[in-house]
Amino acid sequence: MISVIIPALNESATIASVVRFARRSPGVTQVIVVDDGSIDGTAEQARAAGAEVMTSSLLGKGASMRDGLRRAVEPIVVYLDGDLRGLSDEAIPLLTGPLLRNEADFVKACFSRSGGRVTTLTARPLLSCFFPEVAHLDQPLGGIIAVRRDLLEQLTFESDYGVDVGLVIDAVMAGARLAEVDIGRIEHDSQPLDALRPMAFQVASVILDRAARHGRLRGSAVVSARVGDRLARAELHQAGKPVIVPWRRLALFDMDGTLLQGRVVVELARRCRKEAQLRRLLDSPTLPPEVRTRQIAALFRGVPYAVFEQVALEMPLHPGAAETVVELRRRGYCVGIVTDSYAVVAEIVRRRVFADFCVGHLLHFQHLSCRGRITMAPLMEHDGGCSVHRLCKLNVLRHLVGVEGPAADGLIAVGDSDNDVCLLQAAELSFAFQPKSDSAAKAARFVIHEDLRELLRLAEPVLPAHAAPADAPWADAPIVRQIA
C-alpha cells in the first residue's frame, strides 16, 4: 500500500534506524534507500536494515527522489530524510491518513520545530508574494511528505535544494488537494551557515521560476540567473590566492574518453549538425591547441544551454566510472575531474560520478544561449608548473597541492590522450584508460582497457583501508575551495 523512499548521503549514523522505523510502520510494504554516492557505509547499513538500496543517477536530492519514485510500486509514496531521529511510530499513519481517507492528494509533515533560516528569510516571503495559497505552510521546505504516486509522476523534480518547494507549488497549481499534518517532535540535523547561501538561492530561484511559468512573474531573468549560478559552481576563481587541497590524497580524472564514452565536442557537433566544421578543426595539424579550442567554441555560438545540459546527462559513462570514484572517496581521496572540455558539462558529469570538484574551460552564455566565447581554465596556467605547455593539466595539480606535490602514494592520475601525458608522468600511480596514443600509454604506470574498476584492483596494495570521515569537506562541494 505504501512505498517509503529515503534519499541519503553519508547518513550511516541514522539510516538503519530510519529504515527500521519505516519497515515496522503499518501499511508499508516497500522501503527504498537511494544512495547519493555515500562514502561512510550508508548503503551497507541501509541494506542490512532491510531496505532496497539503489544508487542515484545524479548527485542531488531531487534526482534521488525521482529515481526512487521510478522504483516505487505502491499507490502511496512517502519520502523521509535519512538523518531523522526521534520519530514517533504514529508519524507515517498520521502522514498518510488524509490520502487513505481521500481528503488530500499531497500531504506535508510539520513538526515541533520553528521554520529554519532559509524558510523564514527566503521561502516564506516569496511564497507570500507569488503563491499565497501555500504560504501558510509551517515547513514548506521540509522533505517529509506523502503523495499519491500518480500525482508525483506528473510533477517536476528539481535537482537541487529547491525540489521540495517546487513539488508543493507544482502540485497545487495542478489542482491537487494539499494538507499539512503535525507528526510531533523530531530531531533533524541543521546546516551550518555557510551552506545556506546556495540553499537560499536555489529555493528562491525555483519559486521565482514557477511564478514566471504561471504568469505571476514575467521574463527569463530568473532562468538566466539559475543557469548563471550553476555555471558559477563549476568555476574556480583564484583571486590572487593559492588554491590548495587540504587533503593528503588526491585523484584526478580526465573526462572525455575516460569517464565518458566519447568526446563532448563531437557529440555537441553531431546534435548541432556541425560535424564537418568540427572535423576540419580537429584534423588541422598546424593549428595551435588554444586557437583550436577557441574556434571550436565559436562553432557552438547560439546553441541553447539546454543542449549542453542534455549532452552532459545523456552521454554514457564508461563501466565502473561512478563506482571507482565513490570507492576512492571512501578510501579518503579527494576526487576531481580535470578536462580540456567545458566546465558547464564537467559540473554535471561530476555529479553523475559523485566526484568532489571539476576544472574545465569556461564557456560564456547570455540569455540561455552560448556566445561562442571561452575563457581558458585559470588553473591550467602556473608560473612554476609545466615547462612545455602554457596550458596544461599538470598546472592544475600545482595549484591544488603546491609545487612540491603530495606524497608519491597520495596522487592518482587517470587519462587517455596526449593532453594527459604531463599529468600522468607526474603521478606515481597513473593509469591510461583505453589510451588513444602511444605517448599516453607509455606515460602511465598501468594501462586499463575495459572497466575503470580495474584501477582499484591494481592500486589495492597502496590504497588506504579506512574511509574518509562522513563530514569530509568535500562531501558535496562542487568546486575546490580557496584557502586564504
**112 & 179 share domain:** yes
Q: Is residue 184 one of the residues assigned to a domain?
A: yes
Amino acid 460 reads E
pTM as predicted: 0.82
Domain total in the chain: 2
Contact 236, 377 (CB under 8 A): yes
Rounded CA-CA distance 212/229 in Å is 18
Rounded CA-CA distance 444/441 in Å is 6
Closest of 39, 20, 43, 42 to residue 31, by C-alpha: 20
**295 & 189 share domain:** no
Rounded CA-CA distance 145/163 in Å is 12
Q: Is residue 168 one of the residues assigned to a domain?
A: yes
| pLDDT at 482 (0 to 100) | 27
Of 163, 194, 225, the domain-final residue? 194
Structural domain containing residue 68: 2-194
Rounded CA-CA distance 361/182 in Å is 49
**189 & 244 share domain:** no
Rounded CA-CA distance 127/172 in Å is 13
Backbone φ/ψ region at 250: left (φ over 0), alpha (ψ -120 to 50), beta: beta
**185 & 326 share domain:** no
Contact 332, 464 (CB under 8 A): yes
Q: How many Cα atoms are found within 13 Å in the side-chain-facing hemisphere of 25?
A: 27
Q: At what angle do helices 275-282 and 289-299 cross, to 10 degrees?
A: 180
Backbone angles phi, psi at 155, to 5 degrees: -100, 160
Q: Where are the beta strands (DSSP E) in 45-130?
A: 52-55, 76-79, 106-110
**264 & 160 share domain:** no
184's grid cell: 510531533
Of 140, 172, 194, the domain-final residue? 194
Q: Is residue 27 one of the residues assigned to a domain?
A: yes
Rounded CA-CA distance 163/62 in Å is 5
What CATH number corresponds to the domain at position 301?
3.40.50.1000
Compute CA 104 distance to the chain's CA centroid, rounded to the nearest angstrom. 33
**275 & 412 share domain:** yes
**114 & 249 share domain:** no
Contact 349, 384 (CB under 8 A): no
Backbone angles phi, psi at 78, to 5 degrees: -115, 130
**H/E stretch holding 27:** none
What CATH number corresponds to the domain at position 69?
3.90.550.10
Q: How far apart are the first and last CA of the chain?
A: 54
- What SS3 state is found at 111? coil
Sheet containing strand 429-433, edge to edge, reads 369-375, 357-366, 334-342, 250-253, 411-415, 429-433, 446-448
Q: What totals of helices (H) and strands (E) does the chain contain, helices first? A: 20, 14
Which DSSP letter does residue 38 get?
-
Rounded CA-CA distance 293/297 in Å is 6
Looking at 163-288, list the stretches that DSSP marks H as alpha helix, in order from N- to C-terminal side.
163-173, 196-213, 221-232, 264-272, 275-282
Could you read off the pLDDT of 414-433 as tens digits, one per residue? 999 999 999 999 888 999 99
| pLDDT at 221 (0 to 100) | 61
Q: Is residue 204 one of the residues assigned to a domain?
A: no
Contact 7, 36 (CB under 8 A): yes
**330 & 429 share domain:** yes
Residues forming a β-bridge with 76:
2, 148
Q: At what angle do helices 264-272 and 305-314 cross, to 10 degrees?
A: 130
List the Cα angle 7/10/14 in 5-degree steps: 80
Contact 205, 131 (CB under 8 A): no
99's grid cell: 490520502
- What SS3 state is found at 393? helix
**181 & 284 share domain:** no
Rounded CA-CA distance 299/277 in Å is 8
**94 & 10 share domain:** yes
Contact 172, 133 (CB under 8 A): yes
Per-residue pLDDT tens, the chain, 484 aa: give them: 999 999 999 999 999 999 999 999 999 999 999 999 999 999 999 999 999 999 999 998 999 999 999 999 999 999 999 998 888 889 999 999 999 999 999 999 987 654 577 887 888 888 988 898 898 888 888 889 999 999 999 999 998 889 999 999 999 999 999 999 998 877 666 666 666 778 888 899 999 999 988 888 765 666 666 666 666 655 544 333 444 455 678 999 999 999 999 999 999 999 999 999 999 999 888 889 899 999 999 999 999 999 999 999 999 999 999 999 999 999 989 999 999 999 999 999 999 999 988 999 999 988 789 999 999 998 898 887 788 888 999 998 888 876 444 454 578 999 999 999 999 998 889 999 999 999 999 999 999 999 999 999 999 888 887 554 444 433 333 333 222 2
- Provide the 10 A C-beta neighbour count for residue 216: 13
Residues forming a β-bridge with 2:
28, 76
Could you read off the pLDDT of 24-63 as tens digits, one per residue? 999 999 999 999 999 999 999 999 999 999 999 999 899 9
Q: Is residue 225 one of the residues assigned to a domain?
A: no
Q: What is the largest CA-CA distance in the chain?
A: 73
Contact 9, 476 (CB under 8 A): yes
**338 & 412 share domain:** yes
**183 & 36 share domain:** yes
